[in-house]
A and B are shown apart, each in its own frame.
Chain A
């Protein structure tokens, strides 16, 4: 764990070497997600509610998804840019070091400029918390925390899955973005607004609804089932097959070398 923080310090040091670039990227990240926010804002200035959800409620949903996603992108970046690690041959270097491979991939890359997005999500959440009309009892706060944790788990698992696939093909990996960046975009709104089919897909196949939709229902008081709070933790189960798949890919890499 100490080593992990040393890696963090190292990567941070590297990235702030180029101050202007670093700050501009943060600003860029902030602006990109800000336009997404504007999109929602203008829509609500015409419609007032989407599928019965109010503006503040949507903001809560969006900010939690964005927050989980930007934290994941920052700290699990190594898996997100994993194809580069293979192409540059740096995976070989990882394999000749006496540490766990997953740990080393995690620490191979982190993207701290994602704080731009994180900041945006914090702003939105800060705006939505008092205006949403939710009474912030302990269980509601817990719901938000667990939604965040579950979101980070599911997004991380998706990145690991993405990295696992890149062992088999470098081409055509773009489709995976449907699940990573796509889930972030989809996740702006509670998944039920897309219809039943999409909701089922994002419940049973890619379990985004587990941390986004169901606990959210409890949060805004549409459901009284307190069990929904703990649903995001199921996201950790999703990590298992993704991890196994990555390991499987790594074994293949070791036997083919490319």
Chain B
């Protein structure tokens, strides 16, 4: 159980304008600006939930993750994770969490991955029998049996990420924080990583909190999303809810034969060449079926497809809506 209540965090950042004279000035007198990294952030996440935490760069995602993992102390507010305050009870707290920073490695660079795993086992004091069980499960699910004997530096990014994730789960944590786990991965590795996250969430009941900029991750993995912007939680809801809420438009692609494409109100043509047309329908006033029956009554339709907004577009419109 994760519970955050009115978390606030302000950073002091040295401000300096460009230019040499400014640099000299900064030597003697530093000007600071205050950035509200987090303002009144509150949410709670139940055991076994999988939550996507999204927001543009600099919105406060990493700060929240850092607070939840005990690295950062907030200025004010409460944070309880499984009955502990992360930054006060650091050692006891971190035994129960796993953290994957997508852009940093926790494996020792020059030694085989398996050596890193064994050292991590000792750091977390995992029983040997328990370790062997977890390890074989992870190796099988992540398909890393072949590569664990290779030094980390020789692994591809996709292989390394799979090993990173395995390393974060060797101590069977109850909560897993994933900070951009699919960044820079190819399609095959991405899908493998996603499948794996789904599996451990389902089978081990691991709570997963995922930050990402890859909306396919969100679509494939999470039911619930938290949107943060400028340090505030703007939205907390399910993905499908958000979709219906936000999709006011659908795109209709029609291949037709006939003289002229008929149009009614609330339809906007964005493309119409040689019997191939793309039409945007304002679904607030006109349902998709109404539009289809209207068009097919006027011209002979050869092919037709309907597309809703992609999650990417949805997020863009969300960012616009909240002006972040």
Binding site for B on A (CB under 8 A): 2-3, 6-7, 10, 13-15, 17-18, 88-90, 92-93, 95-100, 254-258
Cβ–Cβ contact A14 & B111, under 8 A: yes
CA distance A6 to B115 in the complex (A): 10
B72 touches which one: A15, A88, A255 (CB < 8 A)?
Answer: A255
B66, B106, B122: the one contacting A6 at CB < 8 Å is: B122
B292 is an interface residue with CB less than 8 A from chain A: no
Chain B's closest residue to A11 (CB) is B108
Chain B hits for A14, CB < 8 A: 108-111
Q: How far is the CB of B182 from chain A (nearest CB, A)?
A: 19
Residue numbers in A under 8 Å from B92 (CB-CB): 98
Residue B131 interfacial (CB < 8 Å): no
27 A-B pairs, CB-CB below 8 angstroms?
A10-B108, A13-B110, A13-B115, A14-B110, A17-B110, A18-B110, A88-B104, A89-B101, A89-B104, A92-B101, A92-B104, A93-B101, A93-B106, A95-B69, A95-B70, A95-B71, A95-B94, A96-B71, A97-B94, A98-B123, A98-B124, A99-B123, A254-B72, A254-B73, A255-B73, A257-B11, A257-B63
B119 at interface (Cβ–Cβ under 8 A)?
yes
A95 to B93, CA, bound (A): 11
Known A7-B119, A89-B101, A257-B72; further 15 A-B contacts with Cβ < 8 A: A10-B111, A10-B119, A90-B104, A92-B101, A93-B101, A95-B70, A96-B70, A96-B94, A97-B94, A98-B92, A255-B72, A255-B73, A255-B75, A257-B63, A257-B66
Chain B CB within 10 A, most for which of A6, A88, A90, A95? A95
**Residues in B whose Cβ lies below 8 Å from that of A90:** 104
Which residue in chain A gives the minimum CB-CB distance to B92?
A98
Q: Is the interface of A mostly helix, strand, loop or mixed?
A: helix
Please, which residue of chain A has its CB at the minimum distance from the CB of B72?
A: A257
B119 touches A95 (CB 8 A): no
User: In the complex, what distance in Å separates the CA atom of A10 from the CA atom of B109?
Assistant: 11
CA of A221 to CA of B291 in the docked complex: distance in angstroms?
A: 106
B91 within 8 A of A: yes
A3 touches B104 (CB 8 A): no
Give the chain A neighbours of B97 by CB distance below 8 A. 96
B95 at the interface (CB under 8 A from A): yes
Which residues of A have CB within 8 Å of B119? Answer: 6-7, 10
**Of B66, B110, B118, which contacts A92 at CB under 8 A?**
B66
